[in-house]
Structure 1
């Protein structure tokens, strides 16, 4: 299946890679029911869906709830299969569905998608916490710009809402534009206070939920509730990685060989799961400081 928000294109492939069916279905109730009815003619079936941790998650969850077997096809694998099958990289829904079917048929060890309510809840909460953090960063940036225009030299880089409020209280512009700047800055400070409260509540909820899983990730220096939750939801079942080298390649921490001739050197990878990479880099940085006694 090549999934989208409002539609899904499927191709039905037998074990010998013979295409025996396919079609495009809407993802509303009627379209989903029609797709299930169409697929019911093949009693022994497994759904191979691209991006079950992303765009394909919504329809994978519905199929799981209906007792279907689902495996996750990584987009990189289906992209390679498309190039090999067609000789070029042009994308259509039909060619995408065909390449996904090829991967699902040929590849052993694709990760089965399971309906883990605890991980699903963790994902919702950690995504919300990340969104709050992004909102905070954006608002602080806007507030700094306004304060720079209201106060010569602006404010210090590390600025709390309370400090910004105290600074703003010293400013009394008389012109219309200055008054508008001050009003918008005051609104941003109010928004920052609300985001801070929600972030604090989200951290508390995440901490309790992560602790209930029995993991000891938060015992590591540099791993907080958000980092631990992100590791749990993205990694899911660690046994899907044959060894630590595969795990390092997946999260982008494995160095890439860039040797030439007698010169042996490596460079940082920009590939892999960047969210996990960010968490692990933060862990590594704190670990170095801790070992140094900082």
Structure 2
């Protein structure tokens, strides 16, 4: 893949200007596709390289002609993580481009269709148009993210096995299956209950499979609980202030740490709110003033804040008072919860920026700016 549609004369002129060049990268397991654009979004050059250490070096050598450059890499961590770590080790400036954002900017391109160069160009132009936080070197947050993602994979597998077990129990005895709560098959009490039921039946294939599934569920439940304890021990060291936030349990705190990374890459609380997808989007018209749901940002981080907000709504009096005040102003319940999430994003940002020494006292209003 060679140069794009721009002539070499224009390429030289852009290089002589010494302006910042954005290099968009569309990562895949086997290949990395890069497109360089100038400050106006005009494509300067494109290339590809193997998604291997030798390819990383080749891309860096290709980019050497651009003295001032920023790499805009699509946020596919398990595919692009090694390449970004290589760039950071080489003191390159890198930003992550969320996949939703790159998809949105791809639709704005004049070129129709979808290809790797088009995706890379969309990443570059997204970095030009949006205020994206810089990527930083891996710290303890990577360990938290890996453990948390692994636990979620195990829990997902456990849920699938529980569903299969329920079908076998329904086949063996529909009346008995109806007595087993759908969401509690992974708990020891119900494991024992089902095991005792199976032990009284004949040794059919369905019974043997059910016994095997019970054993697998117990194994996965134990490992998931162990991982949750490991995550909590890491958070007690690195982010205890999050655990003190009412409604924020170890898993929500771990997700916040994992998806935020180094909070210093967000210059303001407003920037962080945009990253979390909690910053409201104006949707006013005429005399009607309103905002609409922000569907952008990091949705996993948004979900963690949503869990905290719902928990506070149920059990934390300052949050309930705040929600009542918002509803009294005419907000719907959904709009009030969104406002609470925005305040929580600001509070989380402050806690992470100031470090563990900002632990607030019990009963302190977490809605404070």
Same fold (TM over 0.5): yes
Hey, what does 1:97 align to over in structure 2?
Answer: 120
- Which of 135, 143, 148 matches 2:170? 148
C-alpha contact (below 8 Å) 2:252/2:307 kept by paired residues: no
Distance between the aligned counterparts of 1:166 and 1:85, measured in 2?
59
- Higher deviation after alignment, 52-61 or 265-274: 265-274
**TM-score (normalizing by structure 1):** 0.81
Residues 129-160 of structure 1 deviation map (CA, whole Å, 9 limit, x = unaligned): 21122122222222222222223321421232
Structure 1 residues 214 and 231 mapped into 2: Cα distance closer, same or farther (>3 Å)?
Answer: closer
Hey, what does 1:134 align to over in structure 2?
Answer: 156
Residues 256-287 of structure 1 deviation map (CA, whole Å, 9 limit, x = unaligned): 77788888877755554332232222212221
Distance between the aligned counterparts of 1:94 and 1:224, measured in 2?
42
Hey, what does 1:167 align to over in structure 2?
Answer: 194
- Higher deviation after alignment, 199-208 or 133-142: 133-142
How many residues align? The count is 287
Hey, what does 1:110 align to over in structure 2?
Answer: 132
1:284 aligns with 2:309: yes
Structure 1 residues 126 and 167 mapped into 2: Cα distance closer, same or farther (>3 Å)?
Answer: closer
Give the aligned CA root-mean-square deviation in angstroms.
3.2
- How far off its partner does 1:19 sit? 3.9
- Which of 218, 233, 242 matches 1:208? 233
SS in 2 for 1:84: coil
- Higher deviation after alignment, 111-120 or 133-142: 133-142
Distance between the aligned counterparts of 2:153 and 2:284, measured in 1?
40
C-alpha contact (below 8 Å) 1:161/1:189 kept by paired residues: no
- How far off its partner does 1:122 sit? 1.2
- Higher deviation after alignment, 16-25 or 201-210: 16-25
Distance between the aligned counterparts of 1:5 and 1:96, measured in 2?
15
Distance between the aligned counterparts of 2:221 and 2:273, measured in 1?
34
**TM-score (normalizing by structure 2):** 0.67
Give the gaps of 5 or more residues in structure 2. Answer: 1-24, 318-369
Distance between the aligned counterparts of 2:286 and 2:129, measured in 1?
35
- How far off its partner does 1:161 sit? 3.9
SS in 1 for 2:122: helix
Hey, what does 2:93 align to over in structure 1?
Answer: 69
